[in-house]
Structure 1
Amino acid sequence: MFLPDYLLALCSFVSMLSRAGCLPRVAWTGCRRMGNFTSSSGALTSTACAQYIQEVVSQNCVVIFSKTTCPYCKMAKNVFNEIGAAYKVIELDEHNDGRRLQEALAQMTGARTVPRVFINGNCIGGGSDTKELHQQGKLLPLIEQCAPCCAATSSEGSGSGQFVSAK
């Protein structure tokens, strides 16, 4: 079957968005051309990941990019649980594009380590930074500055003590 180039390009673009986690998971196997999977360049994937991160961070007051076995990630989550603050967690080790997301986070924040904690759109650092801000009494005021649209708990599973693995 012959497909015009513009359809192949569209198919490749949709496939890239799907791999970047920007589309809901459906029974999508990608496009095939002469038996080879068409893929996009690494730069596009990096851009899509950065856009995904910016979207998640802009729609939630507190976002923690985490890994399930990381003790510093658990430290950050515990701080927010202690103060009863709503937050969204993206577990990178359970996310299909976790490695790419972590690379994009490194480019955006200057640190490759997890957790990467964002409050009101700003990266405040990692687990130790979060704990230190809490001990200094500076964490809650940052959360209270969140825009009303971001501070509300969403139906996607954000919330105090609820861990969300966004896939």
Structure 2
Amino acid sequence: MHQVLSTTPGVLKYRDISCFCQAAEDVWDCPCYSLQDVVVGDVPPTEGDQSEVQTQQHRPDVIELHHCGKWCIVRYDDQPYPSIILEVEEHSVKIKCMHRNSRYDLNRLYWPSPIEDVNWYLDDEIMCLMPEPVAVNKRAIQVDEKIWAYLKEELGL
């Protein structure tokens, strides 16, 4: 039932439920069933599409139930915190947050212990989805450099 298509080089579009509502008009990328975009590789967008592709790469229009278990960045006090989405209810998202390792190296994070940092946030506080971070030692992780650059630009870090 999943559908994956591409109408632009380097951009894949996907949805959980296939849709053929405009297939007779040769339109395959209708917005039905939460059509999502992802940029693949380092394909440079056309001049007018730069901001649109950047946003599509990082933040879906709506955080939905199928995003549970995915990694994201939540904005709290204008700081980015890598997190895992645990639950989604209407416009609220329950997430488990990581903490920064030091205030000097913002891109070194760890899971707090012994108490987990689990809270509900509004879905517009989710800045972006991201791949699982990379371990830099036994306890700390690091967010992908391209995503970290995007966060620094968005938050002015």
Q: Same fold by TM (over 0.5)?
A: no
The structure with the greater share of residues assigned to strand is 2
Higher helix proportion, which one? 1
The structure, 1 or 2, with the larger RCO (C-alpha pairs under 8 Å, 6+ apart) is 1
Structure with larger Rg: 1
